[in-house]
Amino acid sequence: MQSLVDWYNGSLGNFMPKEVFVFLVSMLPLIELRGGLVVASLLKIPLIKANIICIIGNIIPIPFILLFIRQVFEFMKKHNIFKEFVEKLEQRAMKKSEGAEKGEFIFLLLFVGIPLPGTGGWTGSLIASLLEKDIKKASIAIFLGILMAAIIMDIVSYGVLGNIVS
């Protein structure tokens, strides 16, 4: 993440507020809130402000993924647009979803909330969508998972008590 911060400082720092950069980082797949909070910490954004920015940035793509990703994937496969990539994504999501049938709410909450590689709001939404889970329950589980991830990443990025009021 330090290299991402260095890139920002060297190229965008004079043009884009650091809060906007952190917001955009939090929207990116794979990086999401987890990376956004690390970047925010490195850019010395106060903890509470960073949480608000990163949580909102991470939440924005979720409804679109839940509502539209299956249609987008079907269109891409039908028209041979990144067909192999889409099929790999679907297989990966289905593999990660093993065990989701039982306790789907808790599964999604923990899947999104425990910051491990390949987990997060994007993948959790993809799994919920591909398994055709109830959108309201999935949205709540994913939102609570994002809050859980924020708490865990606050401890990792900012320290238990440090930088709370900077």
Q: Are the CB atoms for 89 and 129 separated by under 8 Å?
A: no
Q: Cα angle at 5 between 143 and 113, to 5 degrees?
A: 20
* pLDDT recorded at residue 102: 66
In tens, the pLDDT along 83-109 reads 888 888 888 777 776 666 668 899 999
163 band by pLDDT with thresholds 50, 70 and 90: very low
State how far the Cα of 109 lies from the Cα of 125, in Å rounded to an integer. 11
Q: Cα angle at 46 between 162 and 118, to 5 degrees?
A: 85
Which amino acid is located at 124 in the chain? Answer: G
Residue 160 confidence (pLDDT) above 60? no
* pLDDT recorded at residue 85: 87
Across 18-22, 28-32, 91-95, 107-111, the highest mean pLDDT is recorded for 18-22
Which is nearest to 25 in space by CA: 40, 17, 36? 36
The pTM assigned to this predicted structure is 0.84
Q: Which residues of 74-90 are buried (b: 16+ CB within 10 A; e: fewer)?
A: eebeeeeeeeeebeebb
Quote the tokens at residue 95.
């593999």
Share of the chain above pLDDT 70, in %: 92
51 band by pLDDT with thresholds 50, 70 and 90: very high
